[in-house]
Amino acid sequence: MAGKVIAVVQQKGGSGKTTIAVNLAVTFAGRGLSVALLDTDPQGSLGRWFMARRERLGAAGVEFSTSSAWGVSYECEKLRKTADIVIIDTPPKVDADLRPALREADLVLVPVASSHVDLWATEGVLDLARRERKRVTVVLNRARAGTRLGEEVAAAALAMEAGLAEAQLSNRVAFAETLGQGLGVDETGKSAARAEIRALADEVMALF
């Protein structure tokens, strides 16, 4: 059976796309799934994480490749044959370059930090995904539990006719620290961050 493709998409920079991509990859790999990461963002943060991981561990435990926007279909065709899960990290923009990643995706994850500015930036992404008739799930990132703003952002996401993940990622130092070390929070022992990414991974798998 061909692997499933997850595209992590958001037009606003700093929304947490790479953080979500690498942490889901590490968590899925830890569960015995074969995982491939595909970096289409010229900024290359995902590639830097991968190299840091190889230097630290000797073996990354996940596959990694890069592609231009228009090479996504070709890369996904190859990666689907060998990986259970393919995760695409995309550049922070919404234009024709994003369409190939959306077309290949079985699921589109849209990270939204808990601010209205981030939520407004999501509208273009959701519009493109709707045109491609793709299933979209908004993931609240850097969430602050119990705040009015967080509740408003969550309500607005639902109003945009997108799915909203029950699992939320809080504003935790562990996510930034492990990213710089080439790790995922699921590899750092018991922690609140680990519980959050595991809950998100469970939810994503249930969507397939």
DSSP structural state of residue 11: S
Mean pLDDT score of the chain: 90
Summarised one tens digit per residue, pLDDT across range 159-186 is 777 888 999 999 899 999 999 999 999 9
What domains does the chain contain, in order, with CATH numbers? 4-207 (3.40.50.300)
Where is pLDDT greater, at 1 or 81? 81
pLDDT band at 69 (very low <50, low <70, confident <90, very high): confident
Residue the block writes with tokens 């061909």:
2
Rg of the chain's alpha carbons, rounded to an integer? 16
**CA 107 – CA 85 distance, rounded (Å):** 11
Is the pLDDT at 1 greater than 70? The verdict is no
What is the percent of the chain with per-residue pLDDT over 90, rounded to a whole number? 60
The whole-number average pLDDT for the span 18-40 is 97
**CA 165 – CA 195 distance, rounded (Å):** 15
**Residue 128 burial class via C-beta count within 10 angstroms: exposed 0-12, middle 13-18, buried 19 and up:** buried
8 Å CB contact between 59 and 186: no
For residue 2, report the phi and psi dihedrals to the nearest 5 degrees: -65, 150
Strand-pairing partners, residue 164, are 138
The whole-number average pLDDT for the span 13-40 is 95
The whole-number average pLDDT for the span 15-24 is 94
**CA 114 – CA 81 distance, rounded (Å):** 37
pLDDT at 62: 96
pLDDT at 73: 94
pLDDT at 146: 67
Estimate to the nearest angstrom the gap between the alpha carbon of 66 and the chain centroid: 16
**Residue 32 burial class via C-beta count within 10 angstroms: exposed 0-12, middle 13-18, buried 19 and up:** exposed
What is the pTM assigned to this prediction?
A: 0.93
Highest mean pLDDT among 19-28, 56-65, 110-119: 19-28
The whole-number average pLDDT for the span 87-116 is 87
Is the pLDDT at 64 greater than 90? The verdict is yes
Is the pLDDT at 144 greater than 90? The verdict is no
pLDDT at 120: 79
**Residue 85 burial class via C-beta count within 10 angstroms: exposed 0-12, middle 13-18, buried 19 and up:** buried
**CA 100 – CA 92 distance, rounded (Å):** 15
